[in-house]
């Protein structure tokens, strides 16, 4: 019982850190905060060191064919666990049915998708170099944002001089917003609207919402490479700077989408898709240059399965299994591609990891102090006499003035008390 409780606590902690990274992960990374997740392969909650002896220890029955599963925004590798048995997932089932060796990625979903794409490419290449036997085939299953990170990795792989993409056989997308996510577009419109309202409170609210991570903002249009976002204002109103990235000719792509209702033609499903991704975005369908030429014979819709359950549905696994059995076009090109390696002359195609100098505990304290301090600055800003002009006007109105003066006094006392308490907390924790 005690072990079960400890496992639950550990899982909850990891999920919280995953959510935190999804929302403000870029800030954690740039500040070298110990809470920032470093991309890696994980096994039973522990990161796998990519050394031959470590891989053999974790996977005694190695196979030359591997499958890699990469999660979406704010999640970690535990999202794949079936509700009936969280040790069962698409990876373990593929291992049982076909002998594939499964690898599960955990990463900081708050970073730019292109930054994670570079890291993911480097991680796969490192796995190949340290795998105890030669890897003959790679199959990828990507949920949500993970699909965009995967396409980004496929773009950067050859530019980094690696040939892992030549081993890529099948790529299965589960609810991936190839053309962007409507909720992030809504967030972009909302923040721009709040900032136009002449009120310090609404502008502050707009600024707070704008703090959402680079990864979330990249979901607005499904950005894949640095050029999509570099030298562009990240909060410009509905400005799509996405570049066209071709698909890999030798890879078979498969698409799974879900809907909120059992009737896929229901207005709710037409508008919101699986809650986060609309069907057209999941299929890459567009009337402009952003259209992605997927083979739609390889698309399957699952009515009534919402966005998150796409990652752990037995029904969806049966479809994945059927696709895995199919013959692929990869074999036709394998001999031609196996030894092709590009020449690299641009370090921008690589991701340089920052060294984490803090533990998770120190990282949590650092984040708390930063949050309190930023909050105090916002309160001080609201206390500016120019921002209190509304009270001055109300105070001049007979009858209303009596009430407004009392409200102003309460408002001021609360702000003063909050400011003082915050400063005392910072002072006390800083001493420790």
Specify whether the CB–CB gap between 126 and 41 falls below 8 A: no
Q: Which pLDDT does position 208 carry in this prediction?
A: 42
Report the candidate in 120, 108, 104, 113 with the shortest Cα–Cα distance to residue 47. Answer: 104
Taking the C-alpha atoms of residue 137 and residue 164, their distance in angstroms, rounded to an integer, is 9
pTM: 0.76
Answer yes or no: is pLDDT of 370 > 80. Answer: no
Q: Which pLDDT does position 377 carry in this prediction?
A: 54
User: Of 109-123, 178-192, 257-271, which gets the smallest average pLDDT?
Assistant: 178-192
- pLDDT averaged over every residue in the chain: 78
Q: Kindly provide the residue ranges of all beta strands, DSSP E only, lying in 92-159, ordered along the sequence.
A: 101-106, 137-143
3-state secondary structure of 239: coil
Taking the C-alpha atoms of residue 306 and residue 311, their distance in angstroms, rounded to an integer, is 10
Q: Which pLDDT does position 136 carry in this prediction?
A: 96
Please tell me the chain's helix, strand, coil percentages from 3-state DSSP, rounded to the nearest 5.
55, 10, 40
Q: Give the model confidence (pLDDT) of 342-358 as tens digits.
A: 444 456 777 677 666 56
Q: Which pLDDT does position 285 carry in this prediction?
A: 95
Longest CA span, the chain: 88
Averaged pLDDT for residues 378-393: 51
Answer yes or no: is pLDDT of 73 > 80. Answer: yes
User: Of 57-66, 103-112, 256-265, 413-422, which gets the smallest average pLDDT?
Assistant: 413-422
Using the structure block, give the residue that is written with the tokens 């609810």.
175
Q: Which pLDDT does position 235 carry in this prediction?
A: 60
- Give 47 or 28, the one with higher predicted confidence: 47
- Give 401 or 192, the one with higher predicted confidence: 401
Question: What residue ranges do the domains of the chain occupy?
Answer: 38-181+241-349, 360-431
Residue 79 φ then ψ, to 5°? -65, -20
Averaged pLDDT for residues 426-432: 52
Task: Give the pLDDT band of residue 381 (cuts 50, 70, 90).
Answer: low
Question: Could you tell me the two tokens for 137?
Answer: 């085939």
Answer yes or no: is pLDDT of 379 > 50. Answer: no
The secondary structure of 190-211 as a DSSP string is: HHHHHHHSS-HHHHHHHHHHTT
- Give 129 or 399, the one with higher predicted confidence: 129
Separation of first and last alpha carbons in the chain: 35
Q: Which pLDDT does position 6 carry in this prediction?
A: 39
Averaged pLDDT for residues 19-38: 78
User: Of 76-85, 227-236, 326-335, which gets the smallest average pLDDT?
Assistant: 326-335
Domain 38-181+241-349: what homologous superfamily? Alpha/Beta hydrolase fold, catalytic domain (3.40.50.1820)
Query: Could you give the residue ranges of the DSSP H alpha helices within 31-89?
Result: 52-58
What is the sign of the dihedral through the CA atoms of 201, 206, 209 and 211?
negative
Q: Which pLDDT does position 96 carry in this prediction?
A: 96
Q: Give the model confidence (pLDDT) of 313-326 as tens digits.
A: 999 999 999 999 98
Q: Give the model confidence (pLDDT) of 242-293 as tens digits.
A: 998 999 999 999 999 999 999 988 988 888 889 889 999 999 999 988 999 9
Answer yes or no: is pLDDT of 386 > 70. Answer: no
Question: Could you tell me the two tokens for 49?
Answer: 């060191």
- Give 162 or 21, the one with higher predicted confidence: 162
Answer yes or no: is pLDDT of 36 > 70. Answer: yes
Taking the C-alpha atoms of residue 47 and residue 70, their distance in angstroms, rounded to an integer, is 14
Q: How many CA atoms lie within 13 A of 107 on its CB side?
A: 32
Q: What percent of the chain has pLDDT over 90?
A: 48
- Give 329 or 229, the one with higher predicted confidence: 229
Q: Which pLDDT does position 298 carry in this prediction?
A: 97
User: Of 37-41, 306-310, 335-339, which gets the smallest average pLDDT?
Assistant: 335-339
Angle at 113 between CA 158 and CA 136, to 5 degrees: 40
Answer yes or no: is pLDDT of 85 > 50. Answer: yes
Taking the C-alpha atoms of residue 37 and residue 16, their distance in angstroms, rounded to an integer, is 12
Task: Give the pLDDT band of residue 181 (cuts 50, 70, 90).
Answer: confident
Task: Give the pLDDT band of residue 418 (cuts 50, 70, 90).
Answer: very low
């Amino acid at each position: 019982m005690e072990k079960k409780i400890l496992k639950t606590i550990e899982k909850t902690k990891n999920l919280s850190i995953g959510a935190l990274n999804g929302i403000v992960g870029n800030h954690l990374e740039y500040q070298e905060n110990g809470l920032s997740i470093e991309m890696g392969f994980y096994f039973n909650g522990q990161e796998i060191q990519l050394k031959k002896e470590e891989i053999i220890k974790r996977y005694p029955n190695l196979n030359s064919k591997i499958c890699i599963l990469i999660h979406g925004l704010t999640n970690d590798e535990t999202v794949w666990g079936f509700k009936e048995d969280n040790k069962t997932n698409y990876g373990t089932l593929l291992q049982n049915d076909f002998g594939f060796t499964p690898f599960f990625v955990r990463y900081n979903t708050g970073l730019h998708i292109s930054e994670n794409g570079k890291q993911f490419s480097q991680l796969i290449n490192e796995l190949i170099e340290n795998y105890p036997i030669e890897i003959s085939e790679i199959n990828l299953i990507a949920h949500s944002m993970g699909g965009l990170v995967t396409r980004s990795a496929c773009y950067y792989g050859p530019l980094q001089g690696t040939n892992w993409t030549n081993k890529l056989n099948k790529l299965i997308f589960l609810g991936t917003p190839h053309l962007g996510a409507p909720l992030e577009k809504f967030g972009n419109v909302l923040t721009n609207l709040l900032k136009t309202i002449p009120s310090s409170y609404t502008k502050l609210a707009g600024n707070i919402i704008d703090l959402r991570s680079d990864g979330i903002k990249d979901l607005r249009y499904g950005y894949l490479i640095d050029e999509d976002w570099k030298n562009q204002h990240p909060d410009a109103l509905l400005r799509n700077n996405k570049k066209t990235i071709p698909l890999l000719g030798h890879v078979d792509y498969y698409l799974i989408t879900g809907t909120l209702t059992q009737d896929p033609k229901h207005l709710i499903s037409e508008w919101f898709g699986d809650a986060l991704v609309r069907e057209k975005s999941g299929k890459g369908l567009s009337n402009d240059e952003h259209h992605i030429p997927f083979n739609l014979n390889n698309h399957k819709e699952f009515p009534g399965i919402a966005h998150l359950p796409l990652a752990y549905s037995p029904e969806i696994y049966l479809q994945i299994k059927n696709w895995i059995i199919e013959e692929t076009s990869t074999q036709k090109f394998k001999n031609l591609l196996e030894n092709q390696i590009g020449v690299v002359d641009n370090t921008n195609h690589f991701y340089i990891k920052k060294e984490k100098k803090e533990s998770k505990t120190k990282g949590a304290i650092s984040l708390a102090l930063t949050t309190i301090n930023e909050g105090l600055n916002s309160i001080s800003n609201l206390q500016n006499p120019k921002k209190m002009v509304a009270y001055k006007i109300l105070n001049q109105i007979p009858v209303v003035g009596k009430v407004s003066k009392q409200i102003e006094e309460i408002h001021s006392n609360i702000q003063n008390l909050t400011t003082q308490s915050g400063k005392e907390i910072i002072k006390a924790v800083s001493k420790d």
